[in-house]
A and B are shown apart, each in its own frame.
Chain A
């Protein structure tokens, strides 16, 4: 303990370095001029990454562990969401193969047989050709005169 006190006292006795003489005039004349010192070296422009890091650390600093925990929780929820997501439905049409010629032949025969049994199938309303649109009035008038 005594040795430790000696060490402390030894350090306390060390004299402090004097201020460089030239600084007195520089600093006092700067105070008269009201100059705020500019850094002697040009400060490097902070990169975007360091800026983001600084902003984040400023924002999160009061409770870094709490924010870290919240971030971990969000990651866990996100991971679970991905893990439990259902796989997309297979697209049947895209992967369906074209029927073979034999099957097409068979289908055609069945269609013919069905036609013989039932008779000709009337086309539905949707398949009928639409009536021609009414002609313009002037054209109708011309046709009327020519008739």
Chain B
């Protein structure tokens, strides 16, 4: 199998998940693009990188997470640019046709933006990647207890922020 074909396969299999994770984590479409490209360029340069990985998806998210943190540090601030993008641009969810559902997704995206980035990362991996706390801990290089508490705090905050709208459209 050629290296190009392998990269294309990896992209088709994982880019959507990486994209949603990065967009939710960075809240910045440009940073998301840069980090996604950086991850795939790295894979092209080091084809053996994934050989030892038990779970390719988790390994790629780990690469993306570390690259995103490096990029944010290089920029000098974590939230400097976030305000300049509209909620629809930074939402990691597909657009909904139903107005109620669209409103809920928009509110959820706004609520996610109020969580600290590391809490948001854990919430994302648990809810939308279905990882266990042990897998999240390994991916984000944090203790499993920390992952669990970040998830609990994050979910409680989302619930509090979305309760009125959720009760209404439930």
Contact = CB atoms under 8 A, between A and B. Distances in A.
A18 interface: yes
Interface string A19-30: 100011011101
Nearest to A36: B41
B110 interface: no
Contacts of B130: 12
A40 B155 contact: no
B17 A10 contact: no
Interface stretch (B30-38, B51-59, B141-149): B30-38
A57 to B, nearest CB: 11
Given A8-B127, A27-B40, A30-B40, A54 B166 contact: no
Q: Interface size for chain B: under 10, 10 to 19, 20 to 34, or 35 or more residues?
A: 35 or more
Q: Interface size for chain A: under 10, 10 to 19, 20 to 34, or 35 or more residues?
A: 20 to 34
A17 B30 contact: no
Interface stretch (B87-95, B114-122, B132-140): B87-95
B38 A28 contact: no
Interface of B: 4, 7-8, 11, 15-17, 19-20, 23, 30-31, 33-38, 40-41, 43-45, 71, 74-76, 81, 91-95, 105, 108, 127-128, 130, 155, 158-159, 162, 166, 170
Interface of A: 4, 6-8, 10-12, 14-19, 23-24, 26-28, 30-32, 34-41, 43-44, 46, 50, 54
